[in-house]
A = this chain, B = another copy of it.
Amino acid sequence: MERFEFHNPTKIVFGVGEAKNTGKWLRDQGVEDCLLVMGSGSARKNGAFDQVAQSLEAHGIGFSILEGVKSNPVLSKVDEGIAIVKEEGHESLLALGGGSVMDTAKAIAAGALMDDAHIWDAFLGRAEILRALPVFTVPTLAASGSEMNGYMVITNEDSGYKLATGSIHVYPKVSVLDPALTTTVPADYTAYGGVDAVCHLMEPYFNGPAQYTPIQDALAEGLMRTIMDETRECLKALDSLEHRGAMMWGATLALNGLTKAGVGEHHFPVHLIEHAISAIFDCPHGAVLGALIPGWMRFFAEKRPDRLHKFAKNVMGVGHQLEREEAIQEGIIRFTNWLKSIGCPSRLRDLEIQKADLARVATNAAFQAAIWGMDDQYGEEVIYTVLTMAF
């Protein structure tokens, strides 16, 4: 284990029907007003908006609404929100939606209080987030884990980059996890959410440099196995509150800092390459991750065969009787089969991306790699190689 600091101050309130109590939690934190951030309509259709709005009213919380946040959320929407907050003087942000909505709310919360810089400068690594308005979330999708971490991912439509940044100041104060809000998520996005959560666990598990991390491994392996199982169970019964609940809590824990604490300094290369693809092609995040992972695993198997072998045995249940190299390949095959079984792409060509597109994806990803200081390991050529292997 390597040195780490772990501090996750988000309060989680989990329960079927808890969305109806959202206003109580804002009131509990001394908040009397918020900008309610939402997506493109599903929360209005499935009743989530009504429940949350009524609860805000019942607790005397005033609010304006910012709607129309799209998947792969864009900087122009963040700017729109910042302008509203400044003009109307909102005290807090309340996100009702998936990762895109939560990340947009976080970026608004931080951006509204940046005096000498623009929020995009933080994504470029050129400004630091020193404070933010309090953020509350009511997630409607089990996927990003944004409800219990300080990360946000935003696409700048002008420059064509999808970048991530983070700050302790945008950890949600309270996140209300109501599995009932996720039962209307269609099968494809349910599957993509599962892949996103598994990928969040996988990247530190594979990329952490620490040589001995038995506690972290046990947690990550257990969560990966369980989320993979639960994704399948959800797809069998989309309205199952039990399985939706397990998915929701699993996805939250997958990126709340716990499983990566102590694995050492590491990066998220699969996410990085995904961001480049989504920036250019605007694909669903989890679908692209699925399309990348098996190829990336084949690429990475030479670098850390020990980790791939452990994954094969402890997550994919590959028997101990196989030789290491054979076991690794069997683990990758089984993971690929899981992707197929849930209807997720497992190679880039499934996304109808052309081989000729890979070069500019690599260029875009390499720009991000430089921001993260990981260009020594993931320069443009290496990224191109990974893309080719995933094609």
Contact = CB atoms under 8 A, between A and B. Distances in A.
A361 to B, nearest CB: 34
Contacts of A262: 14, 245, 249
Interface residues of A, number: 39
Interface stretch (A92-100, A126-134, A215-223, A340-348): A215-223
B229 A223 contact: no
A235 B22 CA distance: 49
Interface string A206-233: 0000001111001101110110011000
Contacts of A53: none
A6 B10 CA distance: 8
Interface in A1-23: 1-16, 18
22 contacts: A1-B245, A1-B246, A4-B12, A4-B14, A5-B11, A5-B13, A6-B12, A7-B12, A8-B8, A9-B9, A212-B242, A214-B226, A214-B229, A214-B230, A214-B246, A215-B226, A215-B246, A215-B253, A219-B223, A221-B222, A249-B261, A253-B258
Given A5-B12, A215-B249, 12 more contacts: A1-B245, A4-B13, A5-B13, A5-B14, A7-B10, A9-B9, A12-B261, A218-B222, A219-B219, A219-B222, A219-B253, A245-B262
Interface in A241-287: 242, 245-246, 249-250, 253, 258, 261-262
Interface of A: 1-16, 18, 212-215, 218-219, 221-223, 225-226, 229-230, 242, 245-246, 249-250, 253, 258, 261-262
Contacts of A242: 1, 212
Contact of A6 (B14, B214, B226): B14
A253 B356 CA distance: 48
A125 to B, nearest CB: 24
By CB atoms of chain B within 10 A, which of A7, A215, A249 has the most?
Answer: A215
Contacts of A214: 226, 229-230, 246
Contacts of A261: 12, 14, 249
A6 B15 contact: no
A135 to B, nearest CB: 15
A226 B261 CA distance: 16
B215 A250 contact: yes
A14 B5 CA distance: 6
Nearest to A211: B242
A3 B13 CA distance: 8
